[in-house]
Amino acid sequence: MKRRKFLRNIGAVSAAPILLNGLPVQSFATPGMLSMLNCDGIGDRVLVVLFMKGGNDGINTLVPINQYDTYVNHRPDIHLENSGANSIINLDSNLSIEDQIGLNPGMTSFKSMYDDGMANIVQSVGYANVNQSHFKSTDLWLTGGDSTPQNFNLTSGWMGRYMEHAFPGIAGNPSSQFPDPLGIQLGDTKPSIGFHDHASEYVGSNLGWQYPGDLSGLLSGLGTAPHATMMNTDFGKEIEYIMNVENNTNTYGNRISDVFNAGSNSGVTYPDSGLGYQLSSVARLLSGGSKTKIFLIHTYGFDTHADQVVAGQTHLGNHSEILKDVFDSIKVFHQDLANLGIEQKVITSTFSEFGRRVTQNGSLGTDHGLQAPMFLFGSSVNPGVIGTNVDLSVVTDSGNLVDPLQYDYRSVFKTLLQDWLAADNSIITDVGFDPVPKIPGLVNPSATVTTDCYISPVAPLPVTLKYFDVEKTPDLKVAINWTAEYERNFKVYEIERSEEGIRFEKIEEVSPMQNDDILKEYEHFDETPLAGTSYYRLKSVDRDDTFSYSEVRAVNFQIEQLEHVKIYPNPAKFDTNLVMTSAVSDNISAELLDSNGRLVSQMELDVKKGFNKINLPLSNFAPGLYLLRLNRNTEVVKQLKLLVVE
């Protein structure tokens, strides 16, 4: 049974909090991973993936010096100078003549990291027959797809499949051994398809632009920002109530907040940018004890159709500025990690959905092209350049390179999953990265995982729930039903109940039928349910007291005249629709309150018996979080959250 939609962003409910602030944080290893405990901390390794969104111009990023005249002919107005104070930066004079690279002037931090043995370039990366749509190409990179019919419409992501198969039963189900989300996304409020598994479940946690230290209790299903002031008001308590009912109290957000607040940065100064914020948050989470395996972060602005450079001063302009931000931020990030003593645990990799055309357009910019370089960072990468400069001498009528593909992007990620994160061959196959080859020499030989340290899929949780639900019975009891597919080393189920969906108490214990893999169906009854709405969840406890929670289910013993009350779309921009089914014709007052509890709109609704659909215009309201409250006389009968976006 799939999780509720509103839990997609933040992940599933969590187990007991872990001790932090100097107290031991439990290892990421489990009995199924004991073979790797002597493999130099491989189980603690982390991959940070940076999406350079928009299609990075690889040619003005890495200028082929030995083809400089050809480069200038293709780009008479936007080429970078090869002499003077603001000229391209020679990357490495030890490279062969045909592979000499001139870095964009904004890449001084990259040059510094390269000279320190902390950076690697992989030339001309992508897939055959590159799709030049931003949206589709992004999907292909994140799903592990390509332009072939069998790989063009994958519905799961390669990161989600890795988590699903390397950690079966664990992704999205935190326990005392695995308290952290296996994947965390920052910098984009829309959950990435890259973290979806085969069942289309979002198995990461999306922080968007939220402050990680304030995640606990947020409306993370909508990806909203924290509302730090509203908890001191009656309205704030109502919002808090709704948030907790929908997200439960023990979510990954609690763990993320605890880890973030226990961590720190080392005093380095990050660029004042969205990417700087994201990377500083990752460093602080890791310093606080996070065992997350993959972080997906984002930076924007690479769709440089116009004003890529400043006319006559091509070292300036949008492209150079965002490259500077990218590499300045990454350099500070790895310096921060080094100061914290954890840099050896992290490799950072970049990608962009495609490159740009060789020939400039008429707007001081470049249009969508084909392959582009990828960059890798950290003391554990093998420094240098893999591949050769692109050939600018042969260009298609549309201004694109001719057959420039040197490396399939899946080869890069396959190499990182196996040579860095230690995924064994079965996991690589399940991820879908066969038969593309790995890239030798991508990871530093001293850090490359040997076959005896490969991680096989770890054992799943002691119980796998396939279904959990509650319902009223005709004799006014609550039937509590669940189905378990897998029970091993398992002790007891605990049925918990809550009045408000926040504080749960155990009302019954249920012993397992038998410890095996046979599908088992359970049904138990709450003989004395509470008046009004009650919330139920199931706690599954292992023999070593590891535990996990089911989703929360609610049942109501009040007869309500309004049913099936919803608003859509939500988030909304120009208007939204209020729909409901009413047992009687009635007059209802609708109030819209902002995040500080101020009444911003009120209207009387003439509700008919049966189905109602009422359009609510929103164009006059500022973007933000609102509460839509429905009143009958002076009684509040329904309240729903509404997010208005720009």
Q: Which residue has the tokens 């995982």?
A: 449
Q: Are both 5-216+251-453 and 463-556 of the same fold?
A: no
Considering only CA atoms, which of 565, 525, 626 is closest in space to residue 227?
Answer: 626
Considering only CA atoms, which of 320, 336, 324, 220 is closest in space to residue 279?
Answer: 336
Q: Report the pLDDT value the prediction gives residue 15, as an integer from 0 to 100.
A: 28
pLDDT confidence of 217, banded at 50, 70, 90?
very low
Q: Report the pLDDT value the prediction gives residue 125, as an integer from 0 to 100.
A: 98
Q: Report the pLDDT value the prediction gives residue 242, as an integer from 0 to 100.
A: 40
Which tokens go with 440? 């030798």
* pLDDT score of 238 more than 80: no
Q: Report the pLDDT value the prediction gives residue 460, as an integer from 0 to 100.
A: 54
Mean pLDDT for 389-400 is: 93
Task: Select the more confidently predicted residue: 634 or 207.
Answer: 207
Handedness of CA 371, 372, 378, 380 (dihedral sign): positive
Mean pLDDT for 318-332 is: 98
Distances (CA, A) of 21 to 41, 89, 216, 287, 289: 21, 44, 18, 10, 9
pLDDT confidence of 309, banded at 50, 70, 90?
very high
Q: What is the pLDDT of residues 277-292, one digit of tens each?
A: 999 999 999 999 999 9
* pLDDT score of 213 more than 90: no
**Cis-peptide into 24, omega within 30 deg:** no
Which run of H or of E encompasses 162?
helix 158-166
Q: Report the pLDDT value the prediction gives residue 491, as an integer from 0 to 100.
A: 86
Task: Select the more confidently predicted residue: 287 or 213.
Answer: 287
**Cis-peptide into 373, omega within 30 deg:** no
Q: Report the pLDDT value the prediction gives residue 462, as an integer from 0 to 100.
A: 61
Q: Report the pLDDT value the prediction gives residue 531, as an integer from 0 to 100.
A: 66
Q: Report the pLDDT value the prediction gives residue 549, as an integer from 0 to 100.
A: 77
Q: Report the pLDDT value the prediction gives residue 504, as an integer from 0 to 100.
A: 83
Mean pLDDT for 378-385 is: 98
- Among the listed ranges 37-51, 144-158, 449-463, 515-529, which one has the minimum average pLDDT value? 449-463
Fold classified for 463-556:
Immunoglobulin-like (2.60.40)
Task: Select the more confidently predicted residue: 210 or 438.
Answer: 438
Percent of the chain whose pLDDT exceeds 90:
57
* pLDDT score of 484 more than 60: yes
Q: What is the pLDDT of residues 240-295, one digit of tens each?
A: 444 433 333 234 777 888 899 999 999 999 999 999 999 999 999 999 999 999 99
Q: Write down the pTM of the prediction.
A: 0.69
Residue 572 is given by DSSP the state B
- Among the listed ranges 25-34, 451-460, 551-560, which one has the minimum average pLDDT value? 25-34
Mean pLDDT is highest, among 160-174, 423-437, 519-533, for 423-437
- The CA-CA-CA angle for residues 466, 470, 473, to 5°, reads 135
Spell out the domain ranges in the chain. 5-216+251-453, 463-556, 562-644
* pLDDT score of 8 more than 80: no
161 and 450 Cβ atoms separated by less than 8 Å: no
Q: Report the pLDDT value the prediction gives residue 540, as an integer from 0 to 100.
A: 85
CATH number for the domain running over 562-644: 2.60.40.1490
Percent of the chain whose pLDDT exceeds 70:
83
Task: Select the more confidently predicted residue: 402 or 308.
Answer: 308
Mean pLDDT for 462-478 is: 81
pLDDT confidence of 467, banded at 50, 70, 90?
confident
205 and 293 Cβ atoms separated by less than 8 Å: no
548 and 174 Cβ atoms separated by less than 8 Å: yes
Q: Report the pLDDT value the prediction gives residue 147, as an integer from 0 to 100.
A: 95
Q: Report the pLDDT value the prediction gives residue 459, as an integer from 0 to 100.
A: 55
pLDDT confidence of 431, banded at 50, 70, 90?
very high
Helix (H, G, I), strand (E, B) or coil at 52: strand
Question: Mean pLDDT across the chain, nearest whole number?
Answer: 84
Considering only CA atoms, which of 70, 79, 66, 111 is closest in space to residue 389?
Answer: 66
47 and 349 Cβ atoms separated by less than 8 Å: yes
Q: Report the pLDDT value the prediction gives residue 486, as an integer from 0 to 100.
A: 67
Mean pLDDT for 214-228 is: 43
* pLDDT score of 153 more than 60: yes
Mean pLDDT for 42-64 is: 97
Q: Report the pLDDT value the prediction gives residue 212, as an integer from 0 to 100.
A: 85
Q: Report the pLDDT value the prediction gives residue 173, as an integer from 0 to 100.
A: 66
Which tokens go with 137? 């190409």
* pLDDT score of 313 more than 60: yes
Task: Select the more confidently predicted residue: 582 or 374.
Answer: 374
Q: Report the pLDDT value the prediction gives residue 107, as an integer from 0 to 100.
A: 98
- Among the listed ranges 34-43, 117-126, 396-405, 428-437, which one has the minimum average pLDDT value? 34-43
Give the separation between CA 55 and CA 645, rounded to whole angstroms.
Answer: 26
Alpha helices in 248-317 (DSSP H): 252-262, 274-287
**Residue 333 φ/ψ, nearest 5 degrees:** -60, -50
Q: Report the pLDDT value the prediction gives residue 215, as an integer from 0 to 100.
A: 66
Mean pLDDT for 436-453 is: 95
Rg of the chain taking only CA atoms, in angstroms? 27
CATH number for the domain running over 5-216+251-453: 3.40.720
**Cis-peptide into 435, omega within 30 deg:** yes
